[in-house]
């Protein structure tokens, strides 16, 4: 069975993954704090739906050892509890949820990667959807925490002054993606490495606005 790490690497080699990441960054830069909180809540619900689909697929996978199946299902239920916690409307609450959701997701990932049985397309697709949803949620959590921190009175002016510069960086990143699409270069580990490095530069600039 394809490991979660391999699935994540495969997703990182797609143009759509980075286009979505760039759009999410731009949306968080421009959104009000209320909208940031709503975006985060929507992504948590999406992650919960993906977790439920994965759970159902694994429950139907009779080739899984019963003990492994029960453990994965139990950890997915625990993850869904974390995802169902109330809205996070402050930096500390966002960071607390990020930590608990991350730990719960990691337990699921570790158990999945211990299963060596060959599985069908249903589980492979469910794992891919789950990994993608978790990637997007972790990004939303990080961006939300930064936005709440940047809205503190002593940081607000600096954030507003740098806002257009960050949006211009996102635009340039998306133009780079379009060039790679046109040149049919949106596949492979080199593409993933280049996009990861470029996106991290933008995220670092956003992060540096916070103390």
Kindly report the backbone phi and psi dihedral angles of residue 110, in degrees, each rounded to the nearest multiple of 5, phi listed first. -60, -40
pLDDT at 128: 94
pLDDT at 167 over 70: yes
Position 196 confidence tier, pLDDT thresholds 50, 70, 90: confident
Distances, alpha carbon 191 to alpha carbons 132, 171, 174, 181, in Å = 18, 18, 14, 11
Alpha carbon 38 to its chain's center: 16
Q: How far is CA 53 from CA 3, 4, 139, 146, 210, in A?
A: 18, 16, 21, 31, 37
Total of domains in the chain: 1
**pLDDT top residue among 78 and 178:** 78
From the CB of residue 7, how many other CB atoms can be counted at a distance below 10 Å? 21
3-state secondary structure of 152: coil
Mean pLDDT of 10-15: 86
Triad 19, 23, 24: Cα angle to 5° = 115
pLDDT tens-digit map of 45-70: 999 999 999 999 999 888 778 888 89
The pLDDT value given to residue 153: 57
pLDDT of 184 strictly over 70? no
pLDDT in tens, 94-131: 999 999 999 999 999 998 888 866 677 888 899 999 99
Return the closest-CA partner of residue 8 out of 138, 119, 177, 153: 138
Q: Report which of 79, 61, 53, 165 is spatially closest to residue 117, judged by C-alpha positions.
A: 61
pLDDT, average across residues 10-29: 88
Using an 8 Å Cβ cutoff, are 33 and 145 in contact? no
> What is the span of the domain harbouring residue 91?
4-208
202 pLDDT band, cuts 50/70/90, is confident
pLDDT over 70 at 188, yes or no:
no
The mean per-residue pLDDT over the stretch 173-178 comes to 86
Mean pLDDT score of the chain, rounded to an integer? 86
pLDDT at 47: 96
Say what the pLDDT of residue 1 is: 65
pLDDT at 189 over 80: no
């Amino acid at each position: 069975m394809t490991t979660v790490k391999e699935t994540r690497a495969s997703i990182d080699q797609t143009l759509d993954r980075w286009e979505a990441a760039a759009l999410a960054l731009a949306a968080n830069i421009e959104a009000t704090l209320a909208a940031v909180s709503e975006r985060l809540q929507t992504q948590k619900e999406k992650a919960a739906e993906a977790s439920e689909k994965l759970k159902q697929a694994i429950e139907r996978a009779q080739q899984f050892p019963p003990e492994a199946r029960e453990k994965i299902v139990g950890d997915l239920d625990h993850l869904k509890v974390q995802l169902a916690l109330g809205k996070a409307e402050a930096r500390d609450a966002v960071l607390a949820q990020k930590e608990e959701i991350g730990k719960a997701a990691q337990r699921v990932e570790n158990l999945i990667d211990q299963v060596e049985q060959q599985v069908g397309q249903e589980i492979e697709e469910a794992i891919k959807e789950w990994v993608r949803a978790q990637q997007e949620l972790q990004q939303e959590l990080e961006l939300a925490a930064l936005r709440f921190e940047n809205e503190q009175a002593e940081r607000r002016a600096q954030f507003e002054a740098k806002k257009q510069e960050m949006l211009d960086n996102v635009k340039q990143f998306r133009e780079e993606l379009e060039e790679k699409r046109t040149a049919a270069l949106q596949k492979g580990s080199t593409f993933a490495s280049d996009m990861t490095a470029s996106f991290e530069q933008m995220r670092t600039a956003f992060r540096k606005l916070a103390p």
